[in-house]
Structures are given as structure tokens and as C-alpha cells.
Amino acid sequence: MRALDLVIRGGTVVTGTDAVLTDVGVSDGLVTAIGRDLGPAEETVDATGMLVMPGGVDSHVHLDQPPVGAEMCDGFDTGTASAAAGGTTTVVAFAWQTKGSSLLATVADYHQRANQARVDYAFHMTITDPTPTVLKEELPLLVAEGNRSIKIFLTYDGVRVDDAQAIRILAEARRNGALVCVHAEHHDLLAWLTEQLVAAGLTAPKYHPWAKPMVVEREAVHRIIALAEALDVPIQVFHVSGAESAEEIARAQARGLKVWGETCPQYLVLTAEDLDRPDFEGAKFVFGPPARTKADQEALWRYMRRGVIEVVSSDHSPTRFDATGKKIAGENAPFHKIPNGIPGLAARLPVLFTEGVSKGRIDVQTFVRLVSTNPARLFGLHPRKGTIAVGSDADVVIFDPHKSVTLTNAAMHHGGDFTPYEGYRTQGYPVATYLRGKLVFDGQEVVGPAGQGRYLARDLYPMIEPLGRFTSPFNPVDRILTR
């Protein structure tokens, strides 16, 4: 009998449903055996006392994007190093169309940019310029090639789409079989509120959440759900920041709609008060939608436990705390000139585990579903990714549930010069990350080389098939009568 390449022995193997004391055998990059006494192996790793979990799947990661107001400080090399250091082995990153450019050329360009990736990756296509050529000619080719998700912004000058454009994108997503992910904030309302705050001289970072109160988000979430319902298109609402938006999603799900919600660790540990730190430090916490209240945090946990919010991603969107990034408009720039976004790839698993499992809010299987299994399923990567099962890629994080680490920027292994979680004390930390059976993070250093990450093309999968339910007997997307 041929020896296994690797056996991970003695740990508790956790999937989205089970936690079992057993061993995992790996050959040729795949999980090939689960059980006891797996026989000889080239290498054996002792995981006694550890959790052995599927590598994280981070389905919301900005890397190597063209500057929108600031320079992004992670490409696929450093960004995926950070992923590995945080126990994440798959990222879904954005192929970001700039206005006036071809979507085909954009995705081709991102294949080049991603050739330095250290973990596996897929693309969301960020559509900022939905011309007829993009929607009718380019999108179908790209979806058929395996890019099964689209990102749209309902706010941000230069990238946002209006409702008419959103409707056309939703229609093409339905025709071609792609999931639409949405940044939902009411642009005109937040722009007007910003104008009033600035005119009143209220420009410090702490006023950023005042310009983007919950109603700005809740209205846009409600609106995009209504559009998706009318066209019968599955959507995921990105970065749900609090109770009111989550409730919109819960109501949509109660109507039987394919509407999914995502939140991020920053909405679970940071609040609007963090933007009031002195010496412009509040700028480190500028992201949109903004961090909200403790009550919103507890509500998000409840919605996660109910399964309404099914995915916790990082929304890793890194810029430096210098003149290329957060201070691009000056040391004390008004809040609306501070670029939105924070780094978070490496912190995602440790922070969610600490807040969720160690503090008793969720069990460890729910944790695995939120950070790995559910994003893998929702984005068509499961069961290759997102689980530990015979036949799956041997993407594994060995996680010490008791390891306490004080987070620092250096521990994030990214290209940035700050982490919003500086000084945060974890209970639980990855001690080893394996990508397809190869060690990529040894608990201290990223050891997986740049360039070993593989592109993950995604076939059409049942989860994102439409319901076949319209508001009348007319299917307006295909212009046919349904009865």
C-alpha cells in the first residue's frame, strides 16, 4: 500500500456539522482518508488538543485594485500571505472594472495580477460601467468561464450604479447564472448628509457614521431586495452592519427569497466610538457601512445563530495610515476625504473564534460554517473547498482553541502599516495552515511560496438558480409568459 503524504493525527476534526476526534490522511493534495490507524505516511503531524478545520474561505477580499482615492497596499502576494497567516486558504477577490474599460480585459488582467497568489482564488466581477457590450457580449463569456459572481456598488462616486443599471445587471445575472453581491447604501442620502455635516464644520472621523446612519443602509438593502425579488435573482447583501439591515434580509428569507447576508468581524467588535480616537487615529476605523453599536453587535450574533447571516468575510480593503492611504487628503482631512476600508484577512478567524466560540456565543461547527463551509457553498466552491471530506482539497487549518495572541500589525503579514485590531487579545489562533496538503503557515511565518495559488473556475450550481417566481405570469427577464 502506498504511504499517505501526510497524516494529521489526534485532533478534533470540525466540519460545518460535526466535531469528531479522528485523523485526516492526505495524498496528492486531497483528503483521501478520515479515521483511525490510517497506515504509513511520509509525514505525521500531531494535532492533539487542537481543532482541525477546513481552511477559511474569505469571499470578500479587495486586492491590487486600481486606486479609488487611495493606493491599495496589498496585491495577491502579500494579501494571500495574510490569508494564510489567518488560516484562510481560499479568497474570492474582485476583478475591478474601471469606467470605460472592457470587463473581458479587466478579468484577463486580474489573472495576471493573481499569478503571485499563495492560496487559491476566484473572482467576483465588479461592474462599474454596465454598457450593452459589457452586459450582452462580455459578461456571458466570463460567467461561462467560471466567474459566477458580480459585485455592484449602490454608492461611491465613480463606481456606483443607479437603480436602472442595477436592474439590467440583475437581469443579465439571471440569464447567465451568476450571483449578484451588493454594497447597499443610499448614495444621495449619505451625500446630502455629508454635505450638511461638512457645512456645519463637523468633519472629524467620528462624524463618518453620522453621514451613514442605519437608515442609509437599511433603505438600500430593502431596495435591492425588492429589485432582486421582482426579477427573481439570487443576491448576497455584503457587510451587514446591524439589526435593521439584517431584519430586511430575514423578512426576505421568510418570503422564501434567495437573499443571503454577510457580515464581518469589524461589525462584531468595533463600534462608532472607535472613530473618536485622538490624533486622527479614528481614521483607521473609517469603512462603509460604518461600525455601529453594541446592541447591533448582539443582534448580528442572533442573526448568525438563526442562520439569517450565513457568512463572515473580512472585507479586506487595505490602505496605509500615511499619505498614500488614510492620510491621502492630509493629516486631519475631513471624514469624507478619508478612504473607506480596513485590512482584516489575517484577523478574521482568530477574532470571530474569540468572540464567537471562546465567549460562548456560537458553537465550533457554526464557526466553521460562517468562515468556510457557507461561503464555499454560496460561491460554488463546495465540496472542493469549505469542508474536510474524502475527495476535498486538503486545505486545513490546525487551530489551537486556547492560544492567546495579542494582535499586532506584524502578525497580520500584510502590506499595510496598521491593523484596526492592534492590541486585541485572542483566545484561539491558527498554529498551522495547509493548502492542498502543503504547509503555507507554520504558526509564525508564511512558508508557502508566491505563485502556488490556483484559480478556481466555478460551474453553475443549484444554490444560485432562480426560483422561477415572478410578480405576474410574465417573466420579464426572458420576456415569456410563465402560465
Residues within the interface to ligand URP (CB under 6 A): 62, 183, 239, 287-288, 315, 317, 340-341
* CA–CA gap between residue 331 and residue 166 (Å, rounded): 36
CB of 256 to ligand URP, least distance (A): 28
Nearest position to Zn ion, beta carbon: 183
CB atoms within 10 A of CB 270: 21
Nearer to Zn ion, 183 or 292 (CB): 183
Considering CB distances under 5 to 8 angstroms, the limit depending on partner class, which of Zn ion, ligand URP, none binds residue 340?
A: ligand URP
CB-nearer residue toward Zn ion: 152 or 167: 152
Alpha-carbon distances, residue 234 vs 19, 28, 155, 327, 437 (angstroms)? 31, 36, 20, 38, 34
Choose between 182 and 231: whose C-beta lies nearer to Zn ion: 182
* Closest of 51, 82, 19 to residue 403, by C-alpha: 51
Cell 457554526 belongs to 366
Instruction: Report how far residue 357's alpha carbon sits from residue 428's, in angstroms, rounded to the nearest whole number.
Output: 9
- Helix and strand numbers (H, E) in the chain are 14, 18
- Which residue's CB is nearer to Zn ion, number 96 or number 418? 96
β-bridge pairing 19-27 and 30-35: antiparallel
417 vs 342: CA distance, rounded Å: 11
Nearer to ligand URP, 45 or 93 (CB): 93
Place of cell 486631519: 332
**C-alpha 471, offset from chain centre:** 32
**Paired strand residues for 455:** 121
* Comparison of 212 and 384: residue with beta carbon closer to Zn ion: 212
Q: Is 289 helix (H, G, I), strand (E, B) or coil?
A: coil
Which residues contribute to the site for Zn ion (CB under 5 A)? 183, 315
